Amino acid sequence: MVESSRKKTVTMMLFSAPFGSQYADHLCRMAERALDKGYAVEIFLYSDAVHAQMTEQNPKLFFPVGEAVKRLIEKGAVIMSCEICSIARGYIKGELRDGKKDYSSTKVINGLNFCSIYGFVDMLNRADRVLSFGGS
């Protein structure tokens, strides 16, 4: 277990959609073990990986990515999703409302947040280690 006052942070980025490959499964399992061992975990969903944020996923035979994402948030993981990728796929509108971007959505798991690719750069700056999952 980690004992220092500042937890070490592992940042994970996911590029691939859930159920099309096992990358989302690998990331979720890896992230949960990191949290269990006392590390801070930050996750960035990019491109088709934003489908991991969808509510009411109901895979019959595959690894339950949606349930795993909820559990990771409950355990303290910071999960950020690419806002442009999410707007493109209809999860959020992202329009300015009262000076703030509208990230409200009934299609996204509670506790997950959005940022631009520049926000991801901030995540990289905070990371002690970076892992990437998926992509071609």
| Residues near another protein (CB under 8 A) | 2, 8, 10, 22-23, 25-26, 29-30, 32-34, 36-37, 39, 128-133
Min. distance of Cβ 102 from another protein in angstroms? 34
| Cβ proximity to another protein, 33 vs 97, nearer residue | 33
Please report how close the Cβ of residue 128 comes to another protein at its closest, in angstroms: 7
Cα 48 to Cα 13: distance, rounded to the nearest angstrom: 12
CA distance linking residue 128 with residue 97, whole number of Å: 36
Q: How far is the C-alpha of 121 from the C-alpha of 98, rounded, in Å?
A: 26
C-alpha closest to that of 11 among 136, 128, 135: 128
User: How far, in Å, CA of 40 to CA of 14, rounded?
Assistant: 17
Between 26 and 71, CB nearer to another protein: 26
Closest approach of another protein to the CB of residue 43, in Å: 14
Q: Which is nearer to another protein, 87 or 131 (CB)?
A: 131
CB nearer another protein, residue 114 or residue 133: 133
| Amino acid letter for position 58 | N
